[in-house]
Structure 1
Amino acid sequence: MRVLSWIFEVVVFFLIGAIIIGYMQSDKKDFESILNQTISNISNIVGNVTGTMPDIEVIQTGEVCAGIDEELVAQYANNSAMAVFGIFAPKNCLKVTAKDDDLQIKNIIVNKGNCNYAKYMIDTDKKLLYQDKYPKRVKNKKILLRTKNQELVPARAVISWSGVGKHPDEKYYMELDDESKAIYKPMKFFTKQMSFGQTNVATLGNCNILEIKLETEAGAVYRYDIKEEK
């Protein structure tokens, strides 16, 4: 109860501070920026007291990381034009080690959303079921998916993600109707529940990583500063 009381006091303090500072600003955009930053700071504080911060390691590599979905590795091996699907050129492996039980990563934000990673890929079995149900939506061996606005759009083999909505694949995915979304499955990194000491690996994009945020299914947010390359 003491911890919860402390969290409540911190939240109130930051919100009051944001409101006071915001009203001192004449520009509405400045106020919104300060308020958003305050909410982000609160998320970091709350996240760090609701669990033990996982260990992370960033390993530079020129290929898809070991331990990633075999299907994703095959995508890179068999398709040299992955840019067609909006996929990043892999460079970095993110290795996460749990310091608590029941740790599951929900979202990654790298360099404030300026570095992408693969979050979803087509589930082969569900793809076949979809094709059988909608044979007219298969054109030149490519599947057409339906959006919430009833439009048909080509399926993308892999969905890239920034974590903050900056990548066009995120808008593409969110605009699909539920049945179309269902042919995609999350990468194993986002479905694996880790116990204390277990590790999980994700492939990140071709960028110089300076900051990483991990968001967990439990609602915790952990921020890491990464040393810049020399």
Structure 2
Amino acid sequence: MTKLSVNINKIATLRNARGGNVPNLPDFTRNIEKFGAQGITVHPRPDERHIRYSDVRELKPIITTEFNIEGNPVTKFIDLVLEVKPEQVTLVPDAEDAITSNAGWNAKKHKDFLKEVIAEFNNNGIRTSIFLDPDLAMVDHALDTGSNRIELYTEDYAKAYEKGDMEAVKIYAQCAQAATDAGMGVNAGHDLSLDNIRYFREQVPGLLEVSIGHALITESLYLGLETTIQKYLKLLQ
């Protein structure tokens, strides 16, 4: 079964819109785990416009599944991850002013930097994953960084699927197979939803984990959080 990690950034965004502490992030986290999700993902950005660095520290002791922290490995982020020591860190090359992640790493251009950062995390017992576009050449370069996993950036797949293009998933399957053959694990995320997740999971071999936030939280407004999580778990079996 592919594991479901729920990105709770949108819950923090809703809380921050009014100040205060409603909705309560720890309470939502506990419920997400109670309803069956196998992981919690956060993506703190330097401006802390949704998840705050203090949230990450507060959440670590209460998470009973797997904690995944995503972000651009600037010094402040690296220090936070080394302090909190989540099960997984996902390195994402997003600019500070980006609304959301919009590209994977150029693992060839940034290979030396990634090697250095990944070695530090691995030496501290933290599994590493790097965010990649579905590009076979980048998978090869990612292997050289020492990363334990890749996370395939799935926005292009989601857009193609919405238009009825069922062939767009093939490059993701090829990248996943290449990574698996090289001994790396495969994660995926961005714009995956109840509509498109089953086909992606069926077509992409070795898929260990998906990280879903915006779609899942939006769907929960219609269906309820527990029902939505249960639907994802069924589709990921």
Question: Shorter chain as normaliser: what TM range?
Answer: under 0.3
Greater C-alpha Rg: 1
Give the TM-score normalised by structure 2.
0.23
Normalised TM-score (structure 1):
0.24
Structure with more helix by fraction: 2
